[in-house]
Structure 1
Amino acid sequence: MSATSSSPQYSRSSRSALSRRAFGGAVGAGAAAAAVGLPATAEAQERPFRAAPHRGAKRPNILFILGDDLGWADLSSYGAPHIKTPNLDRLARQGVRFTDAYAGSATCSPTRFSLYTGRFPGRTKGGLAEPIADKSAGLEPTHPTLASLLRDAGYATALIGKWHCGYLPDYSPTRSGWDEFFGNFGGALEYYSKLGLGGEYDLYEGDAEYKDLRYYTRILTERASEYVRRDHGDKPWLLNLNFTTPHWPWIADGDTEESAEIVRRIRAGEQGALWHQDGGSVEKYTEMVQDLDRSVGEVLKALKKSGQEKDTLVFFASDNGGERFSYNWPLSGNKASLQEGGIRVPTIVRWPARLDGGQVSHEPVFTPDWTATLLDVGGARPDPAYKLDGTSLAPYLLKGEELAERELFWRVRGERALRRGQWKYYRGKGGKDQLFNLAADQREQADRAQDEPKRLAALKAAWEKTDKGLLPYPAA
């Protein structure tokens, strides 16, 4: 990506100045994009973020879409040279595209905990699993959630797709604030048979099994399209639409022979057959991402036909960084790592009633911020005793207020990270404390720890202060 749109290569003021020059007109933008090998259309209409004046919008419907294991640069609007995502690129042109947005963690279920609770995963027992793989942990039904708080504020709520925050009989979306649930409980499933990691059938409507052996992404797209077309009366609605695409196994729509082979191996008792370690390719992954893009496009088309597009806040992101076949350049690391490639994710927000389109934001934000933001714009007011770890971005997005410098915190077993402004403190599994200036080195190759010992010490102390307030990991 060019430094003007996706790379934090400059200070905020110099980035803005460069963005104005690069995107001041279609010709200039096209030249800038072509110079770094990007499609001119992906960048031509973008401009630095600026809040629009208040236009008296009502509380929005919320369509919150997650891809699964989608890498930061897997969309053509984020620089993928070989993947075409016209629908998500259009969504970006109609809204705000974030270049420095992060997941709440580096794997599936902890990030979902951070979204549903608005808190660091380590504040809850279930969030300590990285990710949840059995029935021993989950999101406690008594814990406040994005859905329960919005439901109390008058929203209809639904979750369609991957839950991955605990299994029946103890855990379920319908016990945590969602009025409706249609999808899978586990972290992965075979796209046709719906067999999960343990060989169990894993497609449910509410808490009851639902039989449908068609390609999973098609089913979710149909369900979501029906939901957004539905007459909800006077209620605004929240729909969490959690695709499993492009998570392994590497099966695209129509790959029935590959599906049958994986199912055979699962039923023969082969451990790890669903991981598909001997399958997939860059071409197959590309096919799956492009299918995700088409599916999002279908849901957005249904939303537009329903007449609710203007008053619906649409959010799109990934739950963590990309996996084996993902395109993360120039970031280092992948899913499960706290390097940039494991936690920085593509993120797009559109709300026609309140946000102008064609904008790009370089502000560092992460998953708990979006929980706080959606509760804010939805009129939900959690009990003051309930600590949110995110910051509402509503004043920034809707009023143009500057975001105060703050700290984004992450931990996973064996790794730690904290970002403050352009600086990132990182300790990997090797145990070495490192310091990176992401404005100059988003690939995290120039360790500044020896040059900036005081800064390193300050960020390390800030990480350890936050960590003391979290639950400890159980013994491995």
Structure 2
Amino acid sequence: MKPIIRLLLCLVLSVSSALREAHAAEGARPNIVYILCDDLGYGDVHCLNPERGKIATPRIDRLAAQGMTFTDAHSSSSVCTPSRYGILTGRYNWRSRLQAGVLEPYGKSLIARDRLTVPALLKKNGYATACIGKWHLGWEWPRDGKMLDFTRPILEGPTTRGFDTYFGTDVPNYPPYCFIENDHTVGIPTEPLPAKLLGHNLASKGGPALPGWKLEAILPAITDKACDFIRQQAKSGTAFFLYLPLTSPHTPLAVTEEWLGKSGLNRYADYVMETDAMIGRVLDAVEQSGAAGNTLVILTSDNGCAPYIGVKDLEAKGHFPSAGLRGYKADIFDGGHRIPFIVRWPERVKAGGHSGQTICLTDLMATCAEILGAKLPDNAGEDSVSILPALLGTDQAPLRESVVHHSINGSFAIRQGHWKLELCADSGGWSDPKPGSKEAKGLPDTQLYDLTADLAESRNVYGEHPDVVARMTKALEQIIADGRSTPGAKQSNDVAIQLRKPVTRAAGE
């Protein structure tokens, strides 16, 4: 072969190799759409609960058929704010200052400014990042004395925690009743929310609202913004991360006229159906953008279904929002924190797959890092484990040694394999036996369940397995003391952690 031909051939091969490497690198940077439903129970998704689920969820079911369904996925808490903290930081919520409950209206930012977040990690790797929907992680609200001043920027919000842009309502059932874009309210809320919109079923709290504020307009507006963002970013060619924390089917049950009565069950079921339809619109936007092949879509929920949406009525009609699990939102039982978790990534994840890996919402951080080939610092993602092996079908063993659960009143539980240890006598939440109740006072202060034999957590076997109780308690104590549950340098919790907190009745959200 003549030298000039050899040189040209080497040049062609070199360019071809470089192009392949560039394509591979681009393929390793998928767009990420993370759809977080609010209070969607495991059994509210029809394909997860076909025998005892009566709500039609065709778009979510289709997503499951196109991707992988995890049947043992958990939120890091059984209520809202803490789970969102875990998603964005990869750290258990109870390591923060928030030891029970959720942030109240106008609460201060829960995520420390210097803490690495998922959007900040992705932004460092060239992603455009957006949060559209419910925030509920706190801000620094501007005040003139004791009075709120809605004319000034709101500090310490999403755009200071890794997101390029934000649009949403912060919390749909909390004031101020208006949209927020980046760091300003859209308009100035000056009027009290009409009394007819307040009430237990809507779980709304009084406060300033925009004149003519319509609760029914929130979910469609968020969906419109999400679809616009997807279309715009797909055209730009820049990899993007869309964190889409929906405001539904959490109260207020602001069902639009189109969906009112469609379920034939109750208003909550109607709202689940509308939520499914809005998710369908977002998925359609991904597909129509031409970016679906290399877009990682994750659909999940922040905790279980709330019992106050008419659960007894639904169960009487044959629909069980927690499927065969015990408990609901706020509880330490699995119905409080075992959640739908569906992943679609056409170029990497086989369609129609199922995984029984025990995973947690905190796992997003490590998963993104592994996808990008990025190394997390020791003080980030302390409780995050990559689920990429499960997605690619290369997992040969459990990905996690344990998952720690937390209820609304701060009760702890730890899961290891088929064992679940609960360090409380009660539900830790709103279900019976309620914390502080006469029934609870007559029960052992520890619960142990074998979930393989007793997924419904109906038989407490703590007295039969003292060795298991001792081993798991020690493991939880070590996780607390180390400031992390993953390999790495020991870290500090933000506050001192009490393994067993004083028994208090669980407040409402």
Q: TM-score, normalised by structure 1?
A: 0.77
C-alpha separation between the residues in 2 aligned to 1:55 and 1:114? Answer: 28
Match of 2:60 among 77, 88, 99: 88
Identity fraction in percent: 32
C-alpha separation between the residues in 1 aligned to 2:164 and 2:65? Answer: 32
Deviation at 1:130, TM superposition (A): 2.1
Q: Which residue of 2 aligns with 1:74?
A: 44
CA contact (8 A) 1:92 1:350 kept: yes
Match of 2:103 among 109, 132, 138: 132
Deviation at 1:373, TM superposition (A): 0.7
The runs of at least 4 consecutive aligned structure 1 residues that moved more than 6 Å come to 473-476
In the alignment, does 2:225 pair up with 1:223? yes
Deviation at 1:379, TM superposition (A): 4.1
Deviation at 1:384, TM superposition (A): 3.6
Change (3 A) 1:250 1:399: closer
Q: Which residue of 1 aligns with 2:136?
A: 164
Match of 2:358 among 341, 352, 364: 364
Q: CA RMSD in A?
A: 2.6
Match of 2:288 among 305, 308, 325: 305
Amino acid at match of 2:41: G
Deviation at 1:358, TM superposition (A): 0.6
Matches within 5 A, 1:431-450: 432-450=445-463
Deviation at 1:78, TM superposition (A): 1.1
Amino acid at match of 2:124: D
Matches within 5 A, 1:268-283: 282-283=265-266
C-alpha separation between the residues in 1 aligned to 2:378 and 2:72? Answer: 29
Amino acid at match of 1:229: R
In the alignment, does 2:339 pair up with 1:345? yes
CA contact (8 A) 2:294 2:346 kept: yes
Q: Which residue of 2 aligns with 1:62?
A: 32
Secondary structure, aligned partner of 2:32: strand
Rg: which structure is higher? 2
Secondary structure, aligned partner of 1:177: coil
Change (3 A) 1:248 1:397: same
Change (3 A) 1:255 1:55: closer
CA contact (8 A) 1:433 1:449 kept: yes
Change (3 A) 1:240 1:76: same
Q: Which residue of 2 aligns with 1:247?
A: 250
CA contact (8 A) 1:376 1:394 kept: yes
Deviation at 1:149, TM superposition (A): 0.9
CA contact (8 A) 1:111 1:319 kept: yes
Q: Which residue of 2 aligns with 1:267?
A: none
Q: TM-score, normalised by structure 2?
A: 0.72
CA contact (8 A) 1:106 1:320 kept: yes
C-alpha separation between the residues in 2 aligned to 1:381 and 1:122? Answer: 24
Secondary structure, aligned partner of 1:160: strand
Change (3 A) 1:143 1:335: same
CA contact (8 A) 2:71 2:355 kept: yes
Q: Which residue of 2 aligns with 1:409?
A: 404
Q: Which residue of 1 aligns with 2:79?
A: 107
Change (3 A) 1:237 1:282: same
Deviation at 1:166, TM superposition (A): 0.2
Change (3 A) 1:291 1:136: closer
C-alpha separation between the residues in 2 aligned to 1:224 and 1:63? Answer: 10
Q: Deviations over 1:176-221 (max 9, x none)?
A: 00001000223x33xxxxxx2xx42241111111257461111011
C-alpha separation between the residues in 2 aligned to 1:311 and 1:241? Answer: 18
C-alpha separation between the residues in 2 aligned to 1:366 and 1:352? Answer: 22
Q: Which residue of 1 aligns with 2:163?
A: 178
* Unmatched 5+ stretches in structure 1: 1-53, 190-195, 258-280
Length, aligned pairs only: 391
Amino acid at match of 1:157: T
Q: Deviations over 1:325-364 (max 9, x none)?
A: 4511211111111100000001100000000101111111
Secondary structure, aligned partner of 1:310: helix
C-alpha separation between the residues in 2 aligned to 1:432 and 1:346? Answer: 30
Match of 1:421 among 411, 417, 422: 417
Matches within 5 A, 1:15-54: none
Q: Which residue of 2 aligns with 1:209?
A: 185
Amino acid at match of 1:472: A
C-alpha separation between the residues in 2 aligned to 1:442 and 1:402? Answer: 24
C-alpha separation between the residues in 1 aligned to 2:373 and 2:106? Answer: 34
Secondary structure, aligned partner of 1:230: helix
Deviation at 1:447, TM superposition (A): 1.3
Deviation at 1:374, TM superposition (A): 2.1
Matches within 5 A, 1:317-396: 317-324=300-307, 325=310, 327-396=321-390
CA contact (8 A) 2:68 2:391 kept: no
Deviation at 1:171, TM superposition (A): 2.5
C-alpha separation between the residues in 2 aligned to 1:352 and 1:224? Answer: 21
Deviation at 1:140, TM superposition (A): 2.3
